[in-house]
Structure 1
């Protein structure tokens, strides 16, 4: 082997393989530009196999992994890039981006500093460095003054009577503090026209739902009555106009037309406030017909990076974001439908002995950011894999679980099926693990770039499943992650 004084030792590569590797890389670049990221990853891998000494190949594959939200794989590739060539700036930049996506802010800050030092003229990097430093400093400050989150109860300090509604306000109003279907329909029309409801009514909606959620266990039992149906929807990610289209094709929530929205209501899409207020309003109106599961994006750290915190502050206030944050911690983590179908946002666990009672008894209060390795974290973050057993998460959080893991879990708990979300799918849904694990994703043309369909699942009282898929609909000219400060361009 030849010793590289700057990086790792490099194996000799023939000129023929170098040429073939470049051809594979160029093919991968074309696939990447066509947004065919999985195929691009395969071609970058081919290039790496032919020539493992080119830092650019790892950095390019890291970027493709970022596009598929495989942030754990992206970090690994970026690290390989800087080991191969410690002077390769893009490797540090890709690692910073992947660590930002994982909310590893200190690690990202270190790499942004390296990039800024190597290229001091890049104003975009300087801005990202400053923003990342601000986040790290804020987190350190919050730790220094922190108290038990259970004692931090902003909800009890809000005096609705002290919030006046100006006579010039011409939007929908809550009469006597009570929610009505007419109010919600007027509110959706208001949102559709890019208007806001008064902050007093927004606070009332959030407070009412928070009170409901505090009374629920972490695993909620759902029963579908006769002559009713339950619709399970996956991630909607602030895509309000596609969210409205779900109601257009499947009907508005009602006592007979039940819904379970399975997490990731907010972030990425720039109409997250409109989505979450509509969902909360319907939950308030139909508490036993509308169900909401917490997703990995209903957490503070993700909201800092992916836009929801910035959006709430821009449209309302920091106080309202804090109230949303408190409410997100109260959201249930799972639902069991007719005692036979478990619905969670992410997936299963790193151990085999988990029971439904273990899920039901998770103390979800006081943990705004789920701890790595906890049942709660794995519920929100894990993904299925085709191979048996368990593997490290491509995301860098949670695990990947195989068909045998699913089978054992279902058998142990006497249930038939796992429905989860968390992953974009080309056709909106996919059935895996011998029909025992279903992924449903309800944000079509995710982030205005992926081109996927959205899907939903209608479930009858006798647990028959019917799938509907749908395309994206037009929305106002507001880009995804428009409120994500300096970091929107890293992931879109």
Structure 2
């Protein structure tokens, strides 16, 4: 028995070393081996910590619970379970676990910090509910651009703003130029902000464009398919990017490495362009401006981080408030509500942020039927939630999500959906892949992640998916990977008190 414990402890020690080096998946493997030899609350709790780093919050909660069941006095497990439940926005359960820790060690700094963050968010939510107006009402429609003064020190390119009509019939457009785009990028590189008037105008104008797109955007290379919008003959490549999470300099590197948006090159960014990274505003403004400049060559899908609940915890709301004020965040929120949920390319490749559904009866038509307008946040269940949240798994069938939100779906689910909807494959994002991408489910499902060295800790590559068209009018897939590029020394989530677990 002693020898078995010694072997298990040695495996735990190896897991600890991997955890310190940010090799989280390897750490999980060592902890799992240790648990297999001799279950121990420390092994479970340490594996919970590795799962937290991998954002597998559902698995982390399960491990911390197992540790508590083995030793109800093991406080570190309560803390880690609180971290994981907080991360999936279950504030009440998180608060209960933190209270248990603080009842025994009232001065524990990590628990005190987490308790304060939970209380702050709970109070913020209660306050917002108390003053809330009907979410269908438009803050953007109420903006008075004549009353927003341009800062005196702004020396960049002009932005022509035109407002016509009144009330619900009001239309806004901005005249974005390539010169304006390039000067915007340089301003951001220099650590400068946009004038608030421009910031509001870009978000408002982009919102108008998003509202006029369908919940399922459909386009492709021209082959006389009446169900989709045909791209011009000039288009040679469609590039699909996964999560970029406020990593502005890495987003710039995508265009520098693989080509700029334009009549020969279409881009689709597949959600989660904000939160985590400390340049989320800059990334959002860049992508919105590209949409205004190239509306038929640049597309955005919504991710699970383009939602209010995630923005409160993972940094974007606080970054917006710090850089531009609370009202701009409210406008961003409204624009996120107008984003499409998925894109169908060539009637063959379905691109969404998360994944497939808990019901085999769901089809492409259910995505087309999603009602985004008037202004509304995604519900906590159903097609919208699953498009944003679900993940693939190796085994057949469906199972509870390792995240604690949504479900996981197996290769048989992917195969049946592709067969019934005449798809070649599904392209999704939502999860770090160390090589930047992964072909899964017998090639029927592709995960692409475009934030290299995610949060400055993961060490992963970034990747994009390129679709081209051959002489037989068949789609061809190619993968491109890239490393992170240097950025100013500003840590992830620098503008928020949230832990960013």
Q: 2:449 — aligned with what?
A: 441
Q: 2:490 — aligned with what?
A: 478
Q: How far apart, in 1, do the equivalents of 2:461 and 2:294 lie?
A: 28
Post-superposition shift, 1:368?
5.2
Post-superposition shift, 1:116?
2.3
Instruction: Give matches, 1:408-447, under 5 Å.
Output: 408-447=416-455
Q: How large is the RMSD of aligned CA atoms in angstroms?
A: 1.5
Q: 1:68 — aligned with what?
A: 54
Post-superposition shift, 1:367?
7.7
Q: Is residue 353 from structure 1 mapped to residue 350 from structure 2 by the alignment?
A: no
Q: 1:194 — aligned with what?
A: 191
- Structure 2: state its 5+ residue gaps: 162-173, 222-230
Q: Is residue 487 from structure 1 mapped to residue 487 from structure 2 by the alignment?
A: no
SS of match in other structure, 1:335: strand
Residues 151 and 195 in structure 2, CA contact (< 8 A), matched pair in contact too:
no
Q: Deviations over 1:221-273 (max 9, x none)?
A: 12233331211000000000000000101122112211000000001111000
Q: 2:17 — aligned with what?
A: 30
SS of match in other structure, 1:259: strand
Residues 248 and 279 in structure 2, CA contact (< 8 A), matched pair in contact too:
yes
SS of match in other structure, 1:439: strand
Q: 1:364 — aligned with what?
A: 372
Post-superposition shift, 1:147?
4.4
Q: How far apart, in 2, do the equivalents of 1:401 and 1:214 lie?
A: 31
Q: Is residue 203 from structure 1 mapped to residue 213 from structure 2 by the alignment?
A: no
Q: 2:224 — aligned with what?
A: none
Instruction: Give matches, 1:365-404, under 5 Å.
Output: 365=373, 369-404=377-412
Structure 2 residue corresponding to 1:80, chosen from 66, 73, 76: 66
Post-superposition shift, 1:388?
1.3
Instruction: Give matches, 1:274-293, under 5 Å.
Output: 274-293=282-301
Q: Is residue 227 from structure 1 mapped to residue 234 from structure 2 by the alignment?
A: yes
Moved more, 66-75 or 136-145: 136-145
Q: 2:139 — aligned with what?
A: 154
Q: 1:134 — aligned with what?
A: 120
Residues 334 and 375 in structure 2, CA contact (< 8 A), matched pair in contact too:
no
Q: Is residue 306 from structure 1 mapped to residue 318 from structure 2 by the alignment?
A: no
SS of match in other structure, 1:457: strand
Structure 2 residue corresponding to 1:40, chosen from 27, 51, 61: 27
Moved more, 397-406 or 468-477: 397-406
Inter-CA distance 175–409: structure 2 relative to 1 (3 Å threshold): same
Q: How far apart, in 2, do the equivalents of 1:475 and 1:96 lie?
A: 32
Q: 1:181 — aligned with what?
A: 178
Moved more, 254-263 or 275-284: 254-263
| TM-score using structure 2 length | 0.92
Q: Is residue 165 from structure 1 mapped to residue 150 from structure 2 by the alignment?
A: yes
Q: Is residue 101 from structure 1 mapped to residue 87 from structure 2 by the alignment?
A: yes
Post-superposition shift, 1:127?
2.9
Moved more, 134-143 or 187-196: 134-143
Q: Deviations over 1:123-147 (max 9, x none)?
A: 4432321221121122233334544
Structure 2 residue corresponding to 1:468, chosen from 453, 476, 480: 480
Q: 2:303 — aligned with what?
A: 295
Q: How far apart, in 1, do the equivalents of 2:102 and 2:202 lie?
A: 44
Q: 1:116 — aligned with what?
A: 102
Q: How far apart, in 1, do the equivalents of 2:399 and 2:110 lie?
A: 36
SS of match in other structure, 1:456: strand
Q: Deviations over 1:320-373 (max 9, x none)?
A: 111111111111100000111100001001111111111111123468553333
Q: Is residue 218 from structure 1 mapped to residue 215 from structure 2 by the alignment?
A: yes
Q: How far apart, in 2, do the equivalents of 1:367 and 1:306 lie?
A: 22
Instruction: Give matches, 1:217-256, under 5 Å.
Output: 217-224=214-221, 225=231, 226-228=233-235, 229-256=237-264
Q: How far apart, in 1, do the equivalents of 2:447 and 2:311 lie?
A: 23
Post-superposition shift, 1:122?
2.5
SS of match in other structure, 1:487: coil
Q: How far apart, in 2, do the equivalents of 1:206 and 1:467 lie?
A: 31
Q: How far apart, in 1, do the equivalents of 2:66 and 2:310 lie?
A: 26
Inter-CA distance 147–247: structure 2 relative to 1 (3 Å threshold): same
Q: Deviations over 1:18-39 (max 9, x none)?
A: 2222111111111212222112
